Amino acid sequence: MSFLAAQLRRLGSLDDRTQGLIALALAVVLPFVVGRTFLNTSLYIGTYAVLALGLNVVVGFTGLLDLGFVLFLATGAVVTSFLLSLTRTPDGTVQWAVSASGGIEGTQIFGFDGSILLIILIAGSVCALVGVLRGLPTLRVRGDYYAIVTLGIAEIAFETFLWDENSWINFTQFTGGAFGIKLPRADRPVLLGDPLRWSSPTVYFLILAGVVVAVLATHHLNRSRVGRALAAIRLDETAARACGVNVNRHKLIAFAVSGFIGGIGGALFVVWKEGTYSVKSFDVWQSILILCGVVLGGMGSIRGALVGITVLLAIDQALRQNYGGVTVPAEALNLIYGFLLIVVMRFRPQGLLPPVRRGRPLTESEHEALRTEPARLFRLGDKDVS
């Protein structure tokens, strides 16, 4: 036991790059050693890990509580399935049908090999735009109001997606309405000559690539000048403004990045679901599920978001199993999530793996200098204040 603890501590003391490479190596080996059920779970976790990393940019780095992140998941997924179903009919017109059983006669516009990569980029870009558009009106509202406005916008979008032909715009032709989206088998994306089914290893590596891109992007964002500006906004918005940080601009950058990653998550969601899902499932509890993952792992920490969502979804999957005829009712899962949120907030509000304080570690001589002569900014009574 102590040997294991020592090894874990050694692992924790490695730098970010080495830890990331070890995790990546394990993830690459994983599909060759586990069974199919486990593989499907890991696709689920991978998709939501991308979403959690996207949410982490706004909640963790910028310190704004986003309760409507499902908007990006929904938009990314709908855009992806729409693009996949675009078909050029023999008479030259472009048509689409997201829930047709047989599909439309003609050639699929995004039917070429590798088109899914292009579609993921488009979905991400659309969601980045949605993020900025959603962000513009929220720039003025602060604190708790931001959480409520994002929640409200997600609810408005949720209702709008179900608009049928009686409304101004018929959204059900894109979202499938209450019946959901079911892409025809012929419209499945192809990558490296392999039609994407969840049992195919290509899907696993596509989602893994999505996670890696999201990790690298958020890691570098956090380390950049923008990341420092976001940290300043998180700690004190007024002070950041006073220090010359362009608060609105940096918030919009955060919203765009968060939306982009969320859109990638939405596109991967379609791939994982093999094109069959319902927009009805994109309700507020999806936002809360992703938020739970980020909070459990530790807001503002990338490895935290990964570990948090993995632990949460692993618990979720474990509870859904049948143990010798005894199953936990599906409704009771929410009970466990609620309980988990309260307990984590009570005993470990910083999460399982909170972000490490950044900055260059002091050198030996600087340590020595600090020990011998503490830096003084000013004196209050007989106390040094620094």
Minimum Å distance from CB 318 to other proteins? 15
Residues 275-294 that bind other proteins (CB under 8 A): 288, 291
Minimum Å distance from CB 235 to other proteins? 8
- Taking residues 102 to 141 in sequence order and writing x for each that binds other proteins by CB under 8 A, - otherwise, the string is -----------------------------------x--xx
Q: Which is nearer to other proteins, 183 or 294 (CB)?
A: 294
Contacts of 236 (CB under 8 A, 6+ apart): none
> What's the burial of 51, exposed, middle or buried (CB within 10 Å: 0-12/13-18/19+)?
buried
Yes or no: say if 332 and 288 are a contact pair by the CB < 8 Å rule.
no
Q: Which is nearer to other proteins, 65 or 209 (CB)?
A: 65
Yes or no: say if 172 and 67 are a contact pair by the CB < 8 Å rule.
no
Minimum Å distance from CB 370 to other proteins? 24
Does 153 sit near other proteins (CB under 8 A)?
A: yes
Yes or no: say if 74 and 80 are a contact pair by the CB < 8 Å rule.
no
Written as one string, the DSSP assignment of 171-219 is THHHH-GGG-EE--GGG--EETTEE--TTSHHHHHHHHHHHHHHHHHHH
Does 221 sit near other proteins (CB under 8 A)?
A: no
b/e burial code for range 22-31 (CB count within 10 A of at least 16 → b): eeeeebeeeb
Residue from 49, 295, 306, 309 touching other proteins (CB under 8 A): that is 295
Minimum Å distance from CB 154 to other proteins? 9
Minimum Å distance from CB 362 to other proteins? 23
Residue from 199, 338, 367, 369 touching other proteins (CB under 8 A): that is 338
Tell me the β-bridge partners of 195. Answer: 190
Does 37 sit near other proteins (CB under 8 A)?
A: no
Coil, strand, or helix at residue 325?
Answer: coil
Residue from 12, 114, 143, 201 touching other proteins (CB under 8 A): that is 143
Instruction: Please tell me the distance from the alpha carbon of residue 154 to that of residue 137, in angstroms, as a whole number.
Output: 14
Does 167 sit near other proteins (CB under 8 A)?
A: no
Residues 230-249 that bind other proteins (CB under 8 A): 235-238
Residue from 345, 356, 369, 370 touching other proteins (CB under 8 A): that is 345
Contacts of 157 (CB under 8 A, 6+ apart): 71, 74, 75
Question: Which positions lie near other proteins, rule CB under 8 A?
Answer: 63-65, 137, 140-149, 151-153, 155-156, 158-160, 235-238, 288, 291, 295, 299, 326, 328-329, 331-332, 334-343, 345-350
